[in-house]
Amino acid sequence: MINAAFRVLLTFNATSLLVIIFLVQKGYTLSHFFSDFACLDWTATLPNAVSYLLYLLIPILSTGLSIWLSKYLGKDEFKAGDVTSIEHANNSFLPSYLGYFFVALSIGNWETLWFIYAVLFVFTFLSQALYFNPLFLLFGYEFYNITTKNGTAIFLISRQRYKKPDDIQISVAHRINNYTFIERG
């Protein structure tokens, strides 16, 4: 149960930038959402940039929460010699995120936004693929594609700076799914 909830949170983190880009592109500020609340009419005096920074703060805090919650996931280990190859993966996902940006910029209304977001969310969640989230970079994490000695391809999220397969010796790696692990230490 915790694993499914954690994967929902990671999926939200990975896809929420689409909504933020839409809000910024359309110029929706906090005052747009709180105009019906007299006690919050002061939001109309805020510069637009404050609204946009607060929007960005939501997935940043959510990413921090997901890192904190990862301690409750199942644990595995990688012993010396378990990994046969390693590839730095930080830059390989940039095209995917640029795709989100361009899609968000072309969305014309709320109905289209929620339809596209729902489809993207469901496919990201069900794909059991990588939970790449560029906001992990703000927390000092790196992304690696590694291959184990039995040929399994694994996506590793870690604060460590690995360069060679021999460098990888992890006593506790938290399992997000069968192919994605996060090393918190």
State pLDDT tens for residues 16-69.
Answer: 888 999 999 998 988 778 777 777 777 777 888 998 999 999 999 999 999 999
Q: State pTM to two decimals.
A: 0.84
For residue 30, the number of C-alpha atoms closer than 13 Å in the C-beta half-sphere is 18
**Is the pLDDT assigned to residue 121 strictly greater than 60?**
yes
Strands 153-158 and 170-177: unpaired
| pLDDT surpassing 60 at residue 130 | no
Between β-strands 170-177 and 83-88, what pairing exists: parallel, antiparallel or unpaired?
Answer: unpaired
For the beta carbon of residue 79, count every other beta carbon within 10 angstroms. Answer: 11
Contact 5, 47 (CB under 8 A): no
